Each structure stands twice: as structure tokens, then as C-alpha cells.
Structure 1
């Protein structure tokens, strides 16, 4: 029997819904006859990183304590017990648990780095940035922390999700800039930045998603993609030269297209990813169409990381009302990406059982 695929799941902020959605997702998909077991990856073992006592208490609060205990007894879900700083009350943040949250991430990262590889991929539940900062550790987000720990200078945030209104077609949106004030975006956009971003997106669509010839559609920055320079020159001076350079390098990058019309099924037909210039330009349409089942993938890392597309939802923690669809999709995507990374490729027109946007 081959060794099971080891997948690390960081349960995130303990006062939030991270423990809830991890438990519920694994109860749904991680059983011996679950939809991820015995598939292309040849079996999976889920390593849940978190305080075991807290997870048991949360399962009891959700009314699934016995089911959780049975899942642990089956052996395909393993809790790696990492003690809390202090006992946690759902919905109540405590800075004394900030370093606990970081220790979950560090355990996953340490198990993915080449020095001591234990995991094939990591999935992260949401964290509360303020708690970590209040614990005395400067922290701007998962993405930046992972890049620093992995020793890479640039990564790319890509969100993806099925669109129920369009036969669950998969929409992927990568971002050229992320958490910047709008007034800072034009200055941040340079041709080298866009070229580096397109190179990372193209490489990881090939390597992680098995897409042989990725087609990337690129938005403009200004209304109507600049209207031939009448509404701004970024499209002429920055974006178009970067696209020409990318095409010379063998990257199928097309545009720039007006963002207000690009996100229509007829325009997205056959596309594998959209590269948007700034956060809300790309994520507003994506989350409108996929929220609750969308995921976040960090491109450019030397390992696979997927995450949910939402925050800690402190008001829902322990209530049983938190939706866990995004966590399910994040787990499924991580498993699918490990299969592609290990050499399974398709014709570039589908991913994880769903067709590209059309």
C-alpha cells in the first residue's frame, strides 16, 4: 500500500470559525468512503494542527462530538496537538493566543520545506491579524508570512471558485497588486512587476493545475481600458508593453480589456485566469459569483497553499451556523494540485472536475 498523502490543515484563529469549518469539512469529505479518499492521490491523511482539547470542545458545541471522535479513531484524520496559550472562548479574541496561531503556520511550513518534508500541501483557516500583532509580532497576512518563511521575494494572490449560475464553471482571478490604497495602485504598477506576475501565474497554472497552455486575460487599470489614452495612459505606457514582453516569452497573455465588461461568460470562454490590476477590481466580481465556495491560492511558493476566501466570523464561532463550503473547496483544490504537481497534466481546459470559464 502506498503511503497516504499528508495534508496539513492550520485551524487558524481559535476564537473564530476556523476550528468549526475544519471539523465540519473533514466530517463531510475525509471518511474512508469520502470523495477525496482513494482518488488520484492514492489516499489522504489529514493532519489537523491545533489544540486537541479545544477542537474536541468545539466539536461538542457543534453537536458533532461523537462523529469527530469516530473520525479520529478511523485514523485518516490526525490531530497534531499544539497547546493554546490560554483557554479560548468562541468569539472572544485574546492576544495571548497570537503566538499559538503562528505556531500552527510554522508547523505546517516546516513540514513543507525541503529540509524536513512531511506534508504535500497546506490548507489554512482564517486568522485574525490584530491578535497576532497585539501579541507583539508584526504580521500583515498569511501571504506575506508564507513568502518570508519560504524565502521568496514575490508571490501572487489568486482566488478561484465555481460559478453555480454558469454550470459551476471555474473562475480564477489573480491580482497584480493586493492590499494597497487605491491612490497607490498606479505608482505600484510597472512593466517589470506585471511581467514577474504573469510569469508566476503562467508557471503555476502549468505546474500546479496541469494546464499545458494557460490563457490569461488581463484587465486595464482605467475605465474603458484607458479609452486610447483619453482616460489614462497606464494601458499604453505600462500594461501593453508588459503583455508584449510576456508574449515574447511564450506566455499567452491578452489584453488589456475593460474590467467592467470582461467578467462575462462569453468573454471568459476558454480563459484559464484573469489578471486584475487591483484588489476590488478582480475580487468583487469573483466573490459575487462564488462566495461561500471560493478559495485563495498563493502562487509562487515552493509548496502548495490553499485557503478559504473569508475571515474569522467571530460572531458565528461555535454556533453551528458557519458555512464550510469554502474549506471543502480549499481541501479539494490542494489535493488536486498535488496530483498535477506529481506529473498529471490535462489539456489546459479544465481543473478539478470543472471546466474553465465559458
Structure 2
């Protein structure tokens, strides 16, 4: 039986329907089919296309500015947290289940607006994409950038990542390095004949322990950097002095640093060690100077805050499109078994974006 979505319904009820359609990364086809079918049937004012398990829709009204609203359809693997449960009522109602926060509440808001905003003051593009929660090479936005780049063009991009209903501006960059030490194997009974590679990593760990992360203010947003060992591997056997040790280190850096700046900083911190960069993604500056971004901040109320983490706003920033994160749900609950989102916050995000997009 195919999934039926009522895009004109209360965004909370739409969230329930989305969450109850499992879509773990790589398994989004059923939900993408439902989204595509609903947009074609219920939003005749939109041009709709499909790329893999990404569904795109847009207005073509010839308006002077365009806003892109992007949300990923996939979730992390289930953890005994489906079907969705509802607790409380009225303003205190909570929706519990995989994807309520990350980020089917945001998807529901965008889908509802896609169907019901027929006369916006900006042209609109909606991107519902696949494979965000896994390796970057499979991310649907990357495929759209390669195959349908004009669908990502705009004057502002809003990524519906959970932000507690507050504008989270920009995002941190991330870099992962491996720090390798070498030694000489020997029998532990004659340890002086060898060199212990694990012991040789001690100095690097001491530098990490004493490291003072930078705090940076950009456009009124406060970013806090981080440098942490996330894995250590070494050892041959219980009776062998190890001749190799690898420490994996993750660096989260403020968006005023480029990827090259971040690498240079890490090589300085770990001067004297063999350092290999194994993964990286640049950050995104807040982008709050864009006129459309200022209008969104005004509609949302409150003060924008820095996004501590990496999100796909960085992909838009790299394309020259100012981008922010804005969606319902507490980002600290993302990927947790007890993930839940307040129903009132989902409705409020829909109201804020409707106000912003209609004036």
C-alpha cells in the first residue's frame, strides 16, 4: 500500500506521516515516491523533477529573488523508536520517534509551504534530498550540484536542520587527521631493544590535553572550536613492543578559517609528528548580511546563533548562496533513541516561514 501525504494538513500531522514512513539512508525510495506524488497532485503551481531519491520542486514566477528550502529525507538507523508516539496535548504535545528532530519536522514544514504558498513574494525552490546522514560522496545535494546545478541557485538557502526554531547561522568546518608514530618491535622482556610507538604518541596526547580552543565572534555569532582525539590504534600482540600507533584527531574550526588554514594550524600544533589529513569539509560564514537573511531573522525573532557543527549550509555557501539553518527540534536530541520534537514548535516554524515568504 503506497504512502499518502496530505500536504495541506496541519504540519504536525504531516510530520507523523513522514516519520511513520521509514527512510534510513539509502532506503528513501518509498518516502521519495510519496513526496513526488503528493507534490505533483497537490501543488500544480510547482515544477517537479526527480533525481534518484531526491525530489525537487520550484515556482517560476519571475520574481527578483529566489529562496531555496532544503531538507533531507533520510534518517539514521532505527533504534526501536518507531512507530511515532505522541505524548501530552495542546501546547505541550511532543512527537517521539526516529526523524522527528532530524529532520522530518523540518521536511513537513517545507512540504506544507510548498503546497499552500501559491503567491509568495520570492520565487521558491524546494529540495528534498537523500543520503545526508552517510558518507558525503552519496549526499543527494552533491548529485544535484553536478547534474542540475540551476536548482541550487538562489539568494538565500534555508536548510531545515533542527535549530530549536532559532536561526542558526553558518556552520563550523571539520577536519580529521591521523597522527602516526613508529617504533621498533621487540619482546617486552627485552623492551630496551625496541622502541614503543604507543609511548611515542604520549607527547601528542599531552598537547591535546593542554590545547586551548579558540572562541570567535562573527556577525554577532559565537563559534567555539574543538580539537579532540577520537580514536587510537596500536599494538601487535600481548608479548610484542608495538612498532606503530595511529591517533585519529577531529578538529572543528570556525568558518573564518579556510580548510588550508585549518590544516596549517594542525601541522603547527603537531609539529614533529607525521600528520595525514584523511577527511575535511569547509565551514560556512553566517551570511546574515543578505537582505533575505535579515528578513528571515526579523520574522523568526530573537538573536541568531552560531551553528556548532557541520551542515549542508556549507555546500550552499561554497556555491555563493548565503545559507542558514532553521527548523524545529533540539539539535542535541538528533540521532538519540529518545528523539522528540514539540508539536507547537513545528507549527511555529511553519508560521514564521509563511510570514517571511509572504511578507
Q: How does the TM-score come out when normalised to structure 1?
A: 0.30
Higher strand content, 1 or 2? 2
Q: Greater share of helix residues, 1 or 2?
A: 1
